[in-house]
Amino acid sequence: MAARTVLQHADIARALTRIAHEIVESNRGTDGLVLLGIPTRGVHLAERIGRVLDDFAGPSVPIPVGALDVTMYRDDLAHTRTRTPSPTRIPGAGIDGRTVVLVDDVLYSGRTIRAALDALSDLGRPSVVRLAALVDRGHREFPIRADFVGKNLPSAQSERISVRLTETDGVDEVVIADRED
């Protein structure tokens, strides 16, 4: 199968706006929210969602956005390609007692999110942790589900879902292809 684009710029923007609305509804506003993106693309998605949330809250109350590197918390380091750790950036007010929304690009096995929960517990104690994913492709190995999903995209394990964002790749799109493509 040739690679096919399943989401383009406008689709991604719409999905992130919908996720932001769902976060506000679930949280009953923006008070106490902290967004933590999982590097690399989850950080950019968290920043984009944060900008939409800032529009809701007003410019005087920016939504804190940070980054949570999970590299050293992964249980599959020996079985995957080498990863370079990224800096973890926790907003100044911290995460204790806050509603933390973890943001990632693709939810697949759940291993990344399990690692994120471990990393988060080393940094503080949020009152609630939620998960936002641009794409949920299924195939979970852990009992983890996203609270906010941009697009459910059932796929074969032999396929690869690639999220490309302007900040890192020069284009906004989600592409599905066979792993050998």
> What six digits make up the tokens of 75?
């249980």
Distance, in Å, from the CA atom of 81 to the CA atom of 53, rounded to the nearest integer, reads 35
Place of tokens 């806050």: 98
Q: What are the pLDDT digits (tens) for 67-97?
A: 999 999 988 766 666 667 889 999 999 999 9
pLDDT tens, residue by residue, 150-180: 999 999 999 999 999 999 999 999 999 998 7
pLDDT surpasses 60 at 181: no
Task: Kindly report the pTM of this predicted structure.
Answer: 0.94
Sequence ranges of the domains in the chain: 8-73+89-156
**Strands laid side by side in the 159-164 sheet:** 4-8, 173-178, 159-164
Fold for 8-73+89-156, please state it.
Answer: Rossmann fold (3.40.50)
Q: Take residue 133 and report the two structure tokens written for it.
A: 């994913």
> In this structure, is the dihedral angle defined by the CA atoms of residues 166, 114, 129 and 87, taken in order, positive or negative?
negative
